[in-house]
């Protein structure tokens, strides 16, 4: 037996590993199984090169739990290690067998991880770790390395007959959860579902019916419980796959989810390696940004679902898998490091997504328009957050009006520019964000020949501003804004039926009714327009909406609005003007309360009193 000290820079290497090196304790199982996969892949690579490895046989990796002895074992039948290799790779933390192997066989091998530090993650859950190993090399002596979580170790010969390595973890008292089958199964499902080597965890029962009719019998057999699909569809060519294959794989990733709208199969080998499938889920115009839906793999080893460095912000709305050996990871594989490859991958994915959307739009516009409610949040989010995507998306972003008609930005400008321009020659887009409460204003605008867009999503506040910044001479005005009439030029100039004296009188009456501080404006509108309208200053309204989105105090800016009285409406021009005294105030108050009610601004006691007054009229 040989004893010695591990070559590390500090006596406190194990506490450092346990507390700081890995973000999640459970990561140890992924690391150890990844190392087992590496050892197996190395053996297959050597055999393919014609080196004497003997019969490969069954290369399944086994996970064994022994609750009585409190051990967890990861067993592989891979390359194994000689005593010299054990001393180099387990006792000298700075070295990595995977790195050395890659250097030697870099053109043939596809190795996942770094044996050195990944192996030491075992000490996060174990008081003692043993490596029972035997090299594939002819005549090799089996050796057992053991360490109890400090820099000292023991190395002894063993009588292991088969090549490969057993990593035996003597699980510590504070980690006994990892001796439960259900917990191990959970981790295997999370981290090892698509590893390229079969992973077995115990046995499972299979049932077979033998015979027919009354003589039929059910035969029960036990078979190895293989937990992984070693050939996931993202590693295959799209020509081999049907739509059903893609949909079934989506259900594997996200059980019980609604089927995706469509998907993109990523496959590139220059200037970096990347495969994967990105799915477009049905968002139903929602903005539930679930940013843990894209899974990142490195050579089929699950790494993380935090992919914001790899995938542009807006693409985190997508679901699916990205697999790349070229994405740089730190020693624990848990965090991505920004470098040029990551930036190239980011740009590539953005381009692929934009090209796919453009292709769908051009190929079958009708089908694309049918999907627009689900796509709109995604496309708008992309245009807001990614300049390169914006440039491409102007070809396929759609604007939808209150009549459910859609058009691209260019098409819509062409449609309205003859009737909706202001004195600065800007094209004015009028929009509604709450058609139910703005119905009267929408009807009035349509009677004047204006088109009204529907922009009713929280993201539209930002989307509007981005379009105004990017597009030449384009401005948006909400249907209840005080700037609608000022900005949009009309062919017909309406004359007021009120005299100047009557106009001032009406203004004074409504000023008394609305209360101090409210701006009252009497306008010569169409007799069919509402008698009284509540309009908000466009700039102030936008400021308040931005405040609300940022979670700021809404009281920081006043809820300012203007009362516009239609001097040409019969209830104003005839009834109000011809009434006197208290009755005149009563008419004005009722018309004002109607306008507030139309904007959902009449609340509490005022609303109750208004309803009672209305019922009184009926009596």
41 and 186 share a domain? yes
Same domain as 529, residue 468: no
Say yes or no: 327 and 259 in one domain. Answer: yes
- Bridge partners (DSSP) listed for residue 4: 153
Domain shared by 569 and 607, yes or no: yes
Summarize the confidence of residues 60-66 as an average pLDDT. 96
- Tell whether 161 and 57 lie within a shared domain: yes
Q: Residue 365 domain-assigned?
A: no
Q: Which domain holds residue 517?
A: 500-534+559-618
Q: What is the CATH number of the domain that holds 323?
A: 3.30.230.80
- What pLDDT, on the 0 to 100 scale, is given for residue 97? 44
User: Of the candidates 154, 185, 201, which is a domain's last residue?
Assistant: 201
Mean pLDDT (whole number) for 525-543: 76
Q: Do 483 and 505 belong to one domain? A: no
Q: Is residue 375 part of a domain?
A: no
Give 557's pLDDT tier (boundaries 50, 70, 90): very low
For the chain, give the mean pLDDT. 81
**Domain annotation covers residue 215:** no
pLDDT digits (tens, 9 = 90+) for 420-435: 887 778 888 999 988 8
pLDDT single digits (tens) 13-39: 555 555 544 557 888 898 899 889 989
The stretch 213-227 carries a mean pLDDT of: 83
Q: Give the pLDDT band (50/70/90) at residue 130.
A: very high
3-state DSSP helix/strand/coil % of the chain, to nearest 5: 40, 20, 35
57-61, 258-262, 531-535: least confident range: 531-535
pLDDT value at residue 7: 53
pLDDT computed for residue 564 by the predictor: 85
| Residues 434, 333 share a domain | no
Tell whether 507 and 460 lie within a shared domain.
no
Residue 81: which pLDDT band, with cuts at 50, 70 and 90? very high
- Structure confidence at residue 483 as a pLDDT band (50, 70, 90): low
pLDDT confidence band for 247 (50 / 70 / 90): very high
Question: For residue 49, what pLDDT is reported?
Answer: 86
**Residue 341 confidence (pLDDT) above 90:** no
In a domain? residue 541:
no
Asked if 549 and 458 count as a contact pair (C-beta separation under 8 A), the reply is: yes
pTM listed for this prediction:
0.74
The per-residue pLDDT for 168 is: 96
> Which among 37, 95, 114 has a CA at the least distance from the CA of 331?
114
pLDDT (0 to 100) of residue 535: 79
In a domain, 428, yes or no: yes
Indicate if 9 and 156 belong to the same structural domain: yes
Taking residues 31-53, what's their average pLDDT? 89
Long-range contacts (CB closer than 8 Å, 24 or more residues apart) made by 519-523: 519/562, 519/563, 520/562, 520/563, 520/565, 521/562, 521/563, 521/564, 521/565, 522/496, 522/498, 522/564, 522/565, 522/567, 523/485, 523/564, 523/565, 523/566, 523/567
Return the top range by mean pLDDT from 37-41, 210-214, 483-487: 37-41
The answer to whether residue 473 sits within a structural domain is yes
Higher pLDDT residue, 560 or 601?
A: 601
Q: What pLDDT score does 206 carry?
A: 84
Total domains, the chain: 4
């Amino acid at each position: 037996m040989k004893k010695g000290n591990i070559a590390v820079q500090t006596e406190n290497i194990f506490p450092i590993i346990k507390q700081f090196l890995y973000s999640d304790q459970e990561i140890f199982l992924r690391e150890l199984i990844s190392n087992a996969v590496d050892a197996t892949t190395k053996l297959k690579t050597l055999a393919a090169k014609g080196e004497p490895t003997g019969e490969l046989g069954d290369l399944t990796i086994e996970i064994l739990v022994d609750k009585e002895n409190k051990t967890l074992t990861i067993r592989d039948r891979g390359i194994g290690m000689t005593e010299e290799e054990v001393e180099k790779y387990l006792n000298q933390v700075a070295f990595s067998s995977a790195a050395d192997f890659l250097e030697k066989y870099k053109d043939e091998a596809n190795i996942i991880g770094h044996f050195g530090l990944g192996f030491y993650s075992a000490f996060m859950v174990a008081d003692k770790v043993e490596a029972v190993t035997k090299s594939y090399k002819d005549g090799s002596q089996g050796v057992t390395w053991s360490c109890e979580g400090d820099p000292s170790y023991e190395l002894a010969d063993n009588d292991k007959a088969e090549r490969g390595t057993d990593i035996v973890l003597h699980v510590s008292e504070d980690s006994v959860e990892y001796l439960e089958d259900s917990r191990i199964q959970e981790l295997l499902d999370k981290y090892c579902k698509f590893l390229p080597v079969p992973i077995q965890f115990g046995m499972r029962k299979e049932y077979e019916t033998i015979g027919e009719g009354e003589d039929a019998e059910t035969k029960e057999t036990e078979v190895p419980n293989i937990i992984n699909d070693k050939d996931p569809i993202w590693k295959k060519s799209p020509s081999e796959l049907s739509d059903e294959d893609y949909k079934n794989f989506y259900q594997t990733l996200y059980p019980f989810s609604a089927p995706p709208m469509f998907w993109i199969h990523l496959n590139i080998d220059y200037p970096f390696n990347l495969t994967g499938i990105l799915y477009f889920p049905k968002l139903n115009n929602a903005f539930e940004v679930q940013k843990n839906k894209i899974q990142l793999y490195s050579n089929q080893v699950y790494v993380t679902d935090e992919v914001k460095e790899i995938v542009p912000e807006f693409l985190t709305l997508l679901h699916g898998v990205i697999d790349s050996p070229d994405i740089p990871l730190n020693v624990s594989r848990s965090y991505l490091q920004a470098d040029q490859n990551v930036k190239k991958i980011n740009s590539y994915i953005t381009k692929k997504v934009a090209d796919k959307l453009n292709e769908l739009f051009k190929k079958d516009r009708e089908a694309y328009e049918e999907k627009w409610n689900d796509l709109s949040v995604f496309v708008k989010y992309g245009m807001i957050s990614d300049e390169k995507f914006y440039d491409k998306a102007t070809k396929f972003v759609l604007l939808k009006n209150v009549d459910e008609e859609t058009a691209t930005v260019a098409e819509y400008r062409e449609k309205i520019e003859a009737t909706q321009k202001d004195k600065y020659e800007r094209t004015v887009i009028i929009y509604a964000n709450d058609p139910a409460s703005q119905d009267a204003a929408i009807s009035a605008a349509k009677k004047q020949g204006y088109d009204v867009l529907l922009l009713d999503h929280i993201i539209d506040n930002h989307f509007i501003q981005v379009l105004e910044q990017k597009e030449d001479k384009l401005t948006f005005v909400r249907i209840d804004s005080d700037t609608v009439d000022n900005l949009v030029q009309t062919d017909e100039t309406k004359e007021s039926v009120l005299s100047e004296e009557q106009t001032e009188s009406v203004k004074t009456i409504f000023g008394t009714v609305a209360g101090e501080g409210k701006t009252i404006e009497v306008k010569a509108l169409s007799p069919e327009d509402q008698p009284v309208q509540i309009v908000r200053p466009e700039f102030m309204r936008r400021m308040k909406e931005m405040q609300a989105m940022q979670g700021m105090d809404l009281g920081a800016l006043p809820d300012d609005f203007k009362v516009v009285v239609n001097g040409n409406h019969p209830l104003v021009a005839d009834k109000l003007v011809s009434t006197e005294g208290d009755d005149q105030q009563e008419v004005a108050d009722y018309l004002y309360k109607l306008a507030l009610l139309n904007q959902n601004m009449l609340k509490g006691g005022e609303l109750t009193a208004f309803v009672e007054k209305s019922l009184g009229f009926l009596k």
